[in-house]
Amino acid sequence: MKSVLVTGANGQLGSELQQLAPNYPKLSFTFVTRTELDLGNSHAITTWFTDKHFDIIINCAAYTAVDKAETEADLANAINATAVAALANIAKAQHSSLIHISTDYVFAGQNYRPYQETDPTDPQGVYGASKLAGERALLSINPAKSLIIRTAWVYSTFGNNFVKTMLRLGKERAELGVIYDQVGSPTSARDLAGAILSIIQHPKLQSLSRTEIYHYSNEGVCSWYDFAKAIFNYSNLTCFISPLETKDYPTPAKRPHYSLLNKAKIKHDFEITIPYWQDSLKTCLNTLNGK
């Protein structure tokens, strides 16, 4: 039986992995939160692993407050970069697989076709830069049988996210403005969790001699405006949505205008079928709306 450690257990992805874990009796899971394993302290990470060994480490923990990162760079880098380096060193020393979750924010967001894993990176803010630093640390240490999975626009029935925010505002307000000139693919954390659980059991993972980068999001494309419209339509909310340009909604951190990720590599290597974003959204909304 393979032992699996999941960090960030209370986050969106970690929570979904906890929900799905009972369906995988051949895997022994340990879920830890920030209280049990402080990823902001690299020394504490090393100490925590002194008497512990796992076949697979899934690092779902991250500093994800994109705007706050602009003024909390040290904390963002501690969790998103320094901690990743510590986990990578542990994985290499223990011959474990490390599955690390990264983001589309490592790119400039100005592309004209879905980003491939080999495309040049160019983060536009502290958050993206800290995530890229974590990727580079992991690639430098290069534990075998390990993956970086970049994803984007993650939502879930757990935690705080765009879907839950839209549901709340759609019930509170008669009209709402939503950005229409940023496009991407929403990602169901439940789908991503299922993909990860498939990957860690796939023989391809064990054959990897180095750390590889993969992309994962749901299929299809939309703007945040389209995303909000779909949430309201499927939830029978009558709130009117006005399209906004990014320049009309300034934020401390710059958002990518283009977040589409090419998923051909992960689909081919791990024989994964990725659901269409609207289908997965309906599933999530049915749960949130009690259907």
Give pLDDT tens digits for 123-146: 999 999 999 999 999 999 999 999
Query: CA-to-CA distance for 125 and 133, rounded, in angstroms?
Result: 12
Q: How far apart are CA 85 and CA 20, in angstroms?
A: 28
DSSP class of residue 68 equals G
Does residue 23 sit in helix, strand or coil? helix
Where do the structural domains in the chain lie, given as residue ranges?
2-160+187-219+260-275
Strand 2-7, strand 27-31: pairing: parallel
Residue 1: pLDDT band with limits 50, 70, 90: confident
The residues annotated as belonging to the active site are 127
Nearest residue to 79 (alpha-carbon basis) of 122, 133, 156: 133
Instruction: Tell whether the model's pLDDT for residue 171 goes beyond 70.
Output: yes
pLDDT digits (tens, 9 = 90+) for 35-73: 999 898 888 899 999 999 999 999 999 999 999 999 999
Q: Which CATH number applies to 2-160+187-219+260-275: 3.40.50.1000, 3.40.50.720, 3.40.50.1820, 3.40.50.300?
A: 3.40.50.720
Calpha distance 260→115 (Å, rounded): 6
User: DSSP class of residue 147?
Assistant: E
